Amino acid sequence: MAKIKPSKGAPYARILGVGGYRPTRVVPNEVILEKIDSSDEWIRSRSGIETRHWASDEETVAAMSIEASGKAIADAGISAEQIGGVIVSTVSHFKQTPAVATEIADKLGTAKAAAFDISAGCAGFGYGLTLAKGMIVEGSAEYVLVIGVERLSDLTDLEDRATAFLFGDGAGAVVVGPAQEPAIGPTVWGSEGDKSETIKQTVPWTDYRNGEVDKFPAITQEGQAVFRWAVFEMAKVAQQALDAAGISSDDLDVFIPHQANERIIDSMVKTLKLPEHVTVARDIRTTGNTSAASIPLAMERLLATGEAKSGDTALVIGFGAGLVYAATVVTLP
């Protein structure tokens, strides 16, 4: 029996660069209030959101991804030709095939990088980061681009009081590459499909196509059920990620949770008993919930403003539709 030659990858992987793109249009709560019976005070108190960004026709999923990726590649100090893999997490690319990752890989100028999309909702960045780490350690790529991108304005029912104010658009990207010491910890991830009805698309595309419904499909959720799950269960997952990395909350410098709701973030900080020195991402206030894009966008902003610095130890956790989740500890680029 022939023996297969073992793969030769890097001993470890790390995030080498990060980039983000927010659409030029800034949408305040007052615009949302044109269609729902609510108030600016209610939206802020329930979610923490003050503004969000909505994409124009030109700011497509691919276009926003390319902008964010270019910044991440430059930040990593490599060229696009060195990228061996492109992973895109999105639920708002409306072409079933081909994957938008292939278009992005081509337009960035990669040398025929492996490219594919994943659908893991708000946990998608964590899923992509884990896959990229595996590719680098296994040796199938030296550098992998992980992108979280959404145009959730296309899937928002502006007359739904429970969700109309939540969602925004944008893209965040990181370059993952080889490292000589651990810089991306073990991932704690999973799914709870028995709760899939709590966050979902209102109807299948086929219902709209066949004229069974007049309203374009949108994202809907059971707010209280999602809130309870995120607050009580995701704090446990976050602690498991700390344990898996062999550190405690005292060792953390930064906490970057999915930017779903500021009340959820506050509750997780309290449950995890994070020390005051830990910087907490609150990009939700001006960016809204951008699903797969929220963690890299928040990471990029913290580094750009100096609230976090290169080499900091950060806990990242994403959670959402599925229900799915992914948490890990990383060293910031």
Catalytic residues: 122, 258, 289
| Spatial CA neighbour of 104 closest among 64, 145, 62, 144 | 62
How many angstroms separate the CA atoms of 217 and 297, rounded? 26
Alpha helices (H) along 171-277: 205-209, 223-245, 262-272
How many angstroms separate the CA atoms of 153 and 92, rounded? 9
How many angstroms separate the CA atoms of 173 and 94, rounded? 20
Q: Are strands 25-28 and 51-54 parallel, antiparallel or unpaired?
A: antiparallel
Are 282 and 258 contacting, i.e. CB atoms less than 8 angstroms apart?
A: no
Residues 6+ apart with CB under 8 A from 197: 222
Are 166 and 263 contacting, i.e. CB atoms less than 8 angstroms apart?
A: no
Alpha helices (H) along the chain: 29-32, 40-47, 61-76, 100-108, 124-138, 205-209, 223-245, 262-272, 284-287, 294-305
Residues 6+ apart with CB under 8 A from 276: none
| Spatial CA neighbour of 180 closest among 9, 5, 313, 1 | 9
Q: Is 314 helix (H, G, I), strand (E, B) or coil?
A: strand
Q: Is 140 helix (H, G, I), strand (E, B) or coil?
A: coil
How many angstroms separate the CA atoms of 187 and 327, rounded? 6
| Spatial CA neighbour of 20 closest among 90, 69, 56 | 69
